Structure 1
Amino acid sequence: MNKETALARTEAVFNTASDYFDAPALSFWNRFGQRTIDQLALNSGDRVLDVCCDSGASAIPAAICVGSTGQVLAVDLAESLLQLGRQKARQQGLNHIEFRAGDFESLGLPDESFDAIVCVFGIFFVPDMVAAVRELLRMLRPGGKLAITSWGKNVFEPANRVFWDAIRAERPDLVKQFTPWDRIREPDALKALLEAGGATQVEVFAEAGTHTLDTPEDWWTMCLGGGCRGTIDQLDTAAQQRVRDTNLQFLQQQQIQALNVDVLYAISAKRNS
């Protein structure tokens, strides 16, 4: 798949998923976005670029940290998610954050424009991740910090496995042989990516946690509000219902009230000139 096709597909999936993206069942977006910003130690007045920003899970905490004298530029492909971010920023009176539609690899922004750059759960959608890291570092001032957050090995299990088994039973052609983040799901692989792109002082923190389900239905809401939406929408109505029923029955029978979730946080610097 070429880059243009991959970007168009990602944009379409997340524009569609925006109707559930900010549902309470998907509170993990805010949790991991906040955790990423917490590790950056931003200062008042900093300029921050947040790419693959979705609806602002990390951009809004960044805007709060840098204060009204700072500036946050939040970029994403999905205009529907950006609209959600703009609404939340207005509600919180954050006038120093801009949500802009675009591909972060071709923003055309000047060199060394930002004190910090953030990419949460997005770098793995880019075919050439090393080139993407280089472009992010180009826009970062010397001594500035780059934060990349990605999924680890164990993501939303055991429900994720059941979901894909149910998809296989309906449409084997829709089952992915690997997920985009598989390339960097180990700490060493994520560190190697950043170093290959020119980052220095790379530190990777692995966090093994859980995400609570208030009801089994929360899992299906999560599927509709994330990357799985693109697969679900390719099923006919009857097949969608069977997949949903299979997932909810499993969770109910096994009395599963939380899903495992592994996250990797990488913080790195740009070498001083």
Structure 2
Amino acid sequence: MVEVPDEIRAARLAELFDLVVDSYDNVGVPFFGPIAERLIAEVDPRAGARVLDIGCGRGAVLFRLAEAVGPGGEVVGIDVSPKMVAATAHEARARGLTNVSVQVMDATAPTLPRGAFDAITASFMIFFLPDPAAALTAWRSLLVPHGTVGVSTFGAWDPRWEQMEDLFGPYRDRAFFRIDPRDPNGPFGSDGAVEGLMRTAGLVHPRTVAFDLDLFFDDTEQWYAWTRSHGQRQLWDSIPAGDLDRVRDAALARVDGWRDEQGRITSRHRIRLTLAQRP
């Protein structure tokens, strides 16, 4: 497998999220919002705190943090996608949030003042990074002593998603994504593994909280739109045009079988929240 240089990987990641900027968290399926609420509840930033949100996307965590820290606090959001940053900054202004700023920045090595933040959040983005432990080490230096970092990742996957692997597996771009977050033996394969990343980065007192998040889709087309509205779009876009209709039709046929007793298409995701502190 040919290694993709980190700068090319970052550029491709930015392009991916530039593509989904309008649909991201905007197809009628609450996903990032409920996760953000639980993550912030666990990080529990105090009023007046200064918090950094890494991979801020369209602001699911960022805007809730702004409310949590209040007008006397400050929230900084960074994201590799220029279009995400522009859209989120525009929305922050529209909301009248004077305690929020957003910048284009690579999460692997943020160019921000050391020891400046009481807490750092990173929701559903750390598994995109080529070296998560190195990124966490860089983030640790941005925290005040005893400051908290909190990340959200996937816990156990719904078995029905795993049963789609024969459709999507042949098209996964393993050169682009060095780490498969579904790998049970990988750095995101268990609570202990993610806590181990924290320890490797020099963070202490790691702990994990997990919960189940149920998603409901009106029909198979909404499921398809949802999977194309975030990072999974990269998988769809990696399928050659000649194969896309076949793979899509087969996937939608299986998803149609995910209906519950009320006839709703459902999907359950185990969400993992992992927190640790700078010594």
Does the pair score TM above 0.5?
yes
Paired letter, 1:264 = R
Residue 160 of structure 2, aligned match among 143, 158, 161: 158
Residue 10 of structure 1, aligned match among 10, 13, 16: 13
Give yes or no for the alignment of 1:198 onto 2:202: yes
**After alignment, is 7-16 or 56-65 more displaced?**
7-16
Give yes or no for the alignment of 1:77 onto 2:80: yes
In structure 2, the CA distance between the partners of 1:98 and 1:198, relative to structure 1 (3 Å rule), is: same
CA deviation string 1:60-87 (max 9, x = no partner): 1001111111111100001222233223
Match of 1:188 in 2: 192
Shift in Å at residue 234 of structure 1?
A: 3.5
Match of 2:180 in 1: 179
Shift in Å at residue 242 of structure 1?
A: 2.9
Match of 1:227 in 2: 231
Paired letter, 2:5 = N
Paired letter, 2:69 = V
Give yes or no for the alignment of 1:270 onto 2:278: yes
Match of 2:269 in 1: 261
Preserved CA contact (<8 Å) 2:53 2:120: yes
Question: TM-score, structure 2 length as denominator?
Answer: 0.87
Residue 138 of structure 1, aligned match among 117, 138, 141: 141
Distance in 2 separating the partners of 1:161 and 1:82? 35
Distance in 1 separating the partners of 2:147 and 2:171? 44
Classify the secondary structure of the residue corresponding to 2:23.
Answer: helix
In structure 2, the CA distance between the partners of 1:127 and 1:88, relative to structure 1 (3 Å rule), is: same
Shift in Å at residue 48 of structure 1?
A: 0.5
Match of 1:248 in 2: 252
Match of 2:218 in 1: 214
Misfit runs of 4+, over 4 Å: 175-178
Preserved CA contact (<8 Å) 1:25 1:221: no
Structure 1 stretches lacking a partner, 5+ long: none
Question: TM-score, structure 1 length as denominator?
Answer: 0.88
Match of 2:91 in 1: 88
Paired letter, 1:203 = R
Shift in Å at residue 49 of structure 1?
A: 0.5
Distance in 2 separating the partners of 1:179 and 1:165? 16
Preserved CA contact (<8 Å) 2:27 2:225: no
Shift in Å at residue 247 of structure 1?
A: 2.1
In the TM superposition, what are the counterparts of 1:35-54 in structure 2 within 5 Å? Answer: 35-54=38-57
Shift in Å at residue 3 of structure 1?
A: 1.7
Preserved CA contact (<8 Å) 2:24 2:229: yes
What is the aligned residue count?
A: 266
CA deviation string 1:82-105 (max 9, x = no partner): 233223323322121111101133
Shift in Å at residue 193 of structure 1?
A: 0.7
Shift in Å at residue 173 of structure 1?
A: 4.4
Classify the secondary structure of the residue corresponding to 2:272.
Answer: strand
Task: Among all aligned residue pairs of Structure 1 and Structure 2, give the percentage whose two residues are the same amino acid.
Answer: 24
Residue 60 of structure 2, aligned match among 57, 66, 90: 57
Distance in 2 separating the partners of 1:238 and 1:25? 30
Distance in 2 separating the partners of 1:58 and 1:117? 11
Paired letter, 1:251 = V
In structure 2, the CA distance between the partners of 1:138 and 1:181, relative to structure 1 (3 Å rule), is: farther
Structure 2 stretches lacking a partner, 5+ long: none
**After alignment, is 14-23 or 51-60 more displaced?**
14-23
Paired letter, 1:143 = H
Paired letter, 1:185 = G
Classify the secondary structure of the residue corresponding to 1:55.
Answer: coil
Match of 1:100 in 2: 103
Shift in Å at residue 250 of structure 1?
A: 1.9
In the TM superposition, what are the counterparts of 1:15-26 in structure 2 within 5 Å? Answer: 15-26=18-29
Distance in 1 separating the partners of 2:17 and 2:29? 14
Preserved CA contact (<8 Å) 1:152 1:262: yes
Distance in 1 separating the partners of 2:136 and 2:179? 22
